[in-house]
């Protein structure tokens, strides 16, 4: 479904961040990406989202090259990208308004998604009146309301406390299976990478390359965090992250 082929990115002379990167993610699969700060993970996501052009190579979704942002791809940014001067409902409708959907369609989709994410009582509030977890759910809702087939997330839960974070990770598992989403998540957390990813890609080096691609067949089980296999995969990822 998603194919990255021979991707390279230079920000200028001598600043090659990504060099000849290739991988695929099957439809409905979840890939998590982990690697040191500054290795090019956000750059890779921006290119996959069509927000930035690569220097060489290409990204394909269902065989079509990504050259600009499209409705097929939802993107959740590190700081959620919410507009503080717009209400929850207005934030939710932003993408639909840009795509000139009818008022009725906007109303019905935003009502459904607010209920789906347990935010139905918050539609008229401003984002600063929400808790961190609610703001995060709103950001997820804003991406889902356009019904993408691919969801990209850049360290989506890093600002949340552990319990809220784990609850939202569970929510993402449910959403993924109910909506048959393909997911690519960048994270700094080894546990998050192992809980969310059917496979975990460890990036490193400058320019960055794939240090390891670790299969993780146990992911998808809400109780996975308590299983020995979970800890075993965490140890494998840690070894790959820490390898010189």
Q: Which stretch binds ligand ADP (CB under 6 A): 37-45, 93-101, 105-113, 234-242?
A: 37-45
Beta partners for residue 200, in sequence order: 32, 214
Q: Which stretch binds ligand ADP (CB under 6 A): 38-46, 117-125, 142-150, 225-233?
A: 38-46
Residue 43 binds ligand ADP, judged by CB under 6 A? yes
C-alpha torsion angle, residues 226, 133, 220, 151 (rounded to 10):
-150
Interface residue with ligand ADP, options 4, 7, 32, 40 (CB under 6 A): 40
Interface residue with ligand ADP, options 8, 16, 42, 58 (CB under 6 A): 42
Q: Report d(CA 69, CA 28) in Å as an integer.
A: 20
Interface residue with ligand ADP, options 32, 41, 157, 236 (CB under 6 A): 41
Q: Report d(CA 105, CA 118) in Å as an integer.
A: 20
Task: Name the residue nearer to ligand ADP (CB basis): 11 or 231.
Answer: 11
Q: Report d(CA 239, CA 226) in Å as an integer.
A: 20
Task: Name the residue nearer to ligand ADP (CB basis): 15 or 162.
Answer: 15
Task: Name the residue nearer to ligand ADP (CB basis): 21 or 93.
Answer: 21
Contact yes or no for 31/198 (Cβ under 8 A): yes
Contact yes or no for 125/88 (Cβ under 8 A): yes
Residue 11 binds ligand ADP, judged by CB under 6 A? yes
Residue 201 binds ligand ADP, judged by CB under 6 A? no
SS (H, E, C) 29-86: CEEEEECCCCCCHHHHHHHHCCCCCCCEEEEEECCEECCCCCCCEEEECCCCCCCCCC
Residue 37 binds ligand ADP, judged by CB under 6 A? yes
The binding site for ligand ADP (CB under 6 A) comprises 11, 15, 17, 37-43
């Amino acid at each position: 479904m998603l194919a990255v082929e021979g991707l390279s990115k230079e920000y200028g002379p001598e600043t090659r961040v990504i060099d000849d990167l290739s991988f695929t993610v099957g439809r409905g699969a979840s890939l998590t990406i982990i690697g040191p700060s500054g290795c090019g993970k956000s750059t890779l996501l921006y290119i996959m989202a069509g927000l930035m052009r690569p220097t060489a190579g290409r990204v394909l979704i269902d065989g079509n090259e990504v050259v600009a942002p499209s409705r097929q791809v939802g993107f959740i940014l590190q700081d959620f990208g919410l507009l503080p001067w717009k209400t929850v409902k207005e934030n939710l409708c932003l993408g639909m308004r840009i795509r000139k959907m009818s008022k009725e369609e906007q109303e019905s989709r935003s009502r459904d998604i607010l209920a789906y994410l347990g935010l139905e009582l918050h539609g008229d509030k401003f984002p600063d009146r929400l808790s961190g977890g609610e703001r995060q759910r709103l950001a997820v809702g804003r991406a889902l309301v356009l019904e993408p087939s691919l969801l990209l997330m850049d360290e989506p839960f890093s600002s949340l406390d552990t319990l809220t974070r784990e609850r939202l990770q569970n929510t993402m598992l449910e959403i993924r299976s109910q909506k048959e989403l393909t997911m690519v998540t960048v994270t700094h957390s080894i546990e998050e990478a192992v809980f969310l990813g059917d496979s975990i890609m460890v990036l490193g080096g400058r320019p960055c390359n794939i240090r390891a691609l670790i299969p993780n067949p146990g992911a998808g089980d809400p109780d996975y965090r308590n299983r020995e296999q979970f800890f075993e995969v965490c140890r494998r990822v840690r070894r790959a992250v820490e390898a010189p």
